[in-house]
Structure 1
Amino acid sequence: MTKVLAISSQGGHWIQLKRICPAFEQSSLVMVSTFILPPSLPNSCTNYYSVVDASRWNKLKLIKQACQVFLVIRKEKPDKIITTGASVGLWAIIAGRLFGAKTIWLDSIANFEQISLSGRLAKAFAHIHMTQWSHLITSKTIYKGAVI
């Protein structure tokens, strides 16, 4: 059975991630987010990990978050990683590449004018880089519709 790790920060990123989780019902689904206590999880979720919330304005928390994400991915050894973003998703895309997972970055629908900073950085690492806005497609970024 394929193991999928779905990861995002809380808020809108998490809502969008949960909306695509039914696509992984036939997989072993591991979820990771910045919620301290486990949020409502899909029935197909077999495990949940909490990592520290961080942003570019707190470099020490970013380092801690990166270490936590790398440890989760090393432990779980997912076949595929999907993220809807923020820094936690960027670390997962990078770690996933290092550990041999196929990776998908789906940029948040909130990013209408341009791909997010994490999304722009993830473009160099993700196997599939997606936007939810058709006017943001490039040779590396694809559009297949919106989640919300």
Structure 2
Amino acid sequence: MKVCLVGSSGGHLTHLYMLKPFWQNKERFWVTFDKADAQSLLEDEKMYSCHYPTNRNIKNLIKNTIVAWKVLRKERPDLIISSGAAVAVPFFYLGKLYGAKTIYIEVFDRIDASTVTGKLVYPITDKFIVEWEEMRRVYPKAINLGSIF
């Protein structure tokens, strides 16, 4: 199984990194911002850079859609996992076209309201994970696995 882990640097990247017991023995690659924290954390990992800022930035959404198309066509992952932010959107939608399964993990600090990215990927995500039971009112088909932290 080949896994694509896609997310913004900072907290989103940390969130994905905490899933190490799951991804450590799998073929994988990362898509994140080319920033110091990502370079340090993913020093020995295969990483593709994406464009930022992403929040409400149409220009970078278009650029990241092109990145997603190129990376997904080359890598052909079986599974795409993200905890946000906006860079996940083109990877999830294009990934579905390439036959990948998707898992989205809504961020820990959302207890009773959705994120923009969560709203955008919820309709097409194979597994939508929340970390608070209250979030199941926001995302009825979500699975509450509790805190990753």
Q: Do the structures match in fold with TM over 0.5? A: yes
Checking the alignment, whether the CA contact within 8 Å between 1:21 and 1:42 is kept in structure 2 is no
Mind listing any 5+ residue stretches in structure 1 that lack a counterpart? none
- Alignment check: 8 A CA contact 2:61 2:90 kept: no
Match of 2:99 in 1: 100
RMSD: 1.7
Superposed, which structure 2 residues align to 1:1-148 within 5 Å?
2-36=1-35, 38-41=39-42, 45=45, 47-137=46-136, 138-148=139-149
Moved more, 123-132 or 134-143: 134-143
**Mapped partners of 2:43, 2:128: distance in 1:** 24
Helix, strand or coil at the partner of 2:41 = coil
Per-residue deviation at 1:112? Answer: 2.3
Higher deviation after alignment, 54-63 or 24-33: 54-63
How much identity, in percent, do the aligned residues show?
28
More displaced 10-residue stretch of structure 1: 122-131 or 106-115: 106-115
Larger CA deviation: 124-133 vs 52-61: 52-61
Q: Which runs of 4+ in 1 moved over 3 A?
A: none
- Change in CA separation of 1:56 and 1:16 when aligned onto 2, cut-off 3 Å: closer
